[in-house]
Amino acid sequence: MTQQVRIEGTEHVFDINDDENVIDAAMRAGLMLPYSCRSGTCGTCMGAVIKGNIHYPNGLPPALDESQNADNKALFCQARADSDLVIRVGEVRDAGDIRPQRLPARVERIEQCAPDVRRVFLKLPKDKRLPFLAGQYIDFLLRGGQRRSFSIANAPHDDELLELHIRHLPGGLFSGYVFNDMQAGALLRFEGPLGNFFLREDSDRPMLFMGGGTGFGPIKGIIEHAMHLGVNRPIHIYWGARAKIDLYLSDLAEQWANTKAHMHYTPVLSEPAAEDHWQGAVGFVHKQVLADYPDLSGFDVYMCGPPPMINGAKKEFIAAGLPAERLYYDSFEAAPD
């Protein structure tokens, strides 16, 4: 049986099935509520039931005492709905609403998707999930206190695995391990989520997304999140790469553009190979954006990729009328190894 949950003080209403908790039902609806442990032991997801009835299949969770329960407090990572509910709980709207965690993860699988790019899928322990905003990143914790940062390439509602796009840097400490030694089952530790690159959902302006190389990864996560939310603002995705083989998920971007009337996709190659027989855009990806949209004053712009692309685009986009506060970016700074 399906019930409805309404978040007090908002217009947000979502369905909840008998076999799911409030957190899972909210995420399925594209809403992010606070949570951490997913086992009822930390209390991060605590809120209040204003109207309706709930139960806990495994008894009262450890982080909820009898007095809190009597006061209609609830741990929504464990609570099941017995009726329609009205709940009081804060929603996650900004990166500052999520506390970074240090967690272990195992490599579930590795996919080679370009000569120098691999997709790595991580699985967290059974009782753990990582709350994050689409577009954020994690830091792998390495020996000697070193860290390496990689963006999350999946959306928060699809969080059974964490997807990362990793490019091989010659001599790179972590990327060398990924390409030369990493196997499925390898155990890693990371801290996250981190960063302020995420979708601003309160805007109604058209959006331009520009990725360079593996900068497509976090953009993929944001686009999938936007589609899950039913966002229908105009979206134009630009992906810059050296040659066609480097557009490792171009079919996916083309599928989005072909099935969503409000979405467009333009790949741009800087050095197309002869065997590419390339008929598309050539040059710097940010120059193509400006050729298509010489006036950026009415847009929100999201961009992610190498520092030269980011630095050049920032100056020229602002000169084209884009307010600096509507330019969101993540610059992939390579760590010296």
Domain ranges within the chain, ordered by starting residue? 2-91, 96-194, 207-331
3-state secondary structure of 45: coil
Peptide bond into 193 cis (omega under 30): yes
Cβ-in-10-Å burial (0-12, 13-18, 19+) of 95 comes to middle
Give the CA-trace dihedral at 88, 92, 96, 98, to 10 degrees.
90
| CATH homologous superfamily of 96-194 | Translation factors (2.40.30.10)
Residue corresponding to tokens 């196997």? 183
Phi, psi of 90 (to 5 degrees): -80, 140
Length of the chain: 337
In the chain, how long is the greatest CA-to-CA distance? Answer: 72
pLDDT of residue 128: 85
Name residues whose C-beta falls within 8 Å of residue 289's C-beta, 6 or more positions apart in sequence. Answer: 208, 210, 238, 313, 317
Phi, psi of 163 (to 5 degrees): -105, 130
Distances (CA, A) of 313 to 96, 124, 326: 27, 36, 13
- Per the structure block, which two tokens stand in for 214? 């593996």
Cβ 239 vs Cβ 267: under 8 Å: yes
pLDDT of residue 335: 65
C-alpha atoms less than 13 angstroms from C-alpha of 277 in its C-beta half-sphere: 0
Cβ-in-10-Å burial (0-12, 13-18, 19+) of 71 comes to exposed
- What CATH number should be reported for the domain whose range is 2-91? 3.10.20.30
The mean pLDDT values, 10 residues at a time, for the chain of 337 residues are 93 94 89 81 90 96 93 96 94 81 97 97 91 95 93 94 96 94 98 94 96 98 95 98 97 98 98 94 98 98 95 96 96 70
β-strand pairing of 137-141 with 147-151: antiparallel
- Per the structure block, which two tokens stand in for 110? 């590795």
Cβ-in-10-Å burial (0-12, 13-18, 19+) of 60 comes to middle
Point out which residues pair with 143 in neighbouring strands: none
Within 10 angstroms of residue 19's Cβ, the number of other Cβ atoms is 8
Phi, psi of 278 (to 5 degrees): -75, 130
State how far the Cα of 171 lies from the Cα of 150, in Å rounded to an integer: 17
Residue corresponding to tokens 């689409």? 134
State which CATH number among 3.40.50.80, 3.60.21.10, 3.60.10.10, 3.50.50.60 fits the domain covering 207-331: 3.40.50.80
Helices (H), 43-148: 66-70
Name residues whose C-beta falls within 8 Å of residue 206's C-beta, 6 or more positions apart in sequence. Answer: 233, 234, 235, 236, 298, 299, 300
- Per the structure block, which two tokens stand in for 215? 């900068």
- Per the structure block, which two tokens stand in for 319? 């000169």
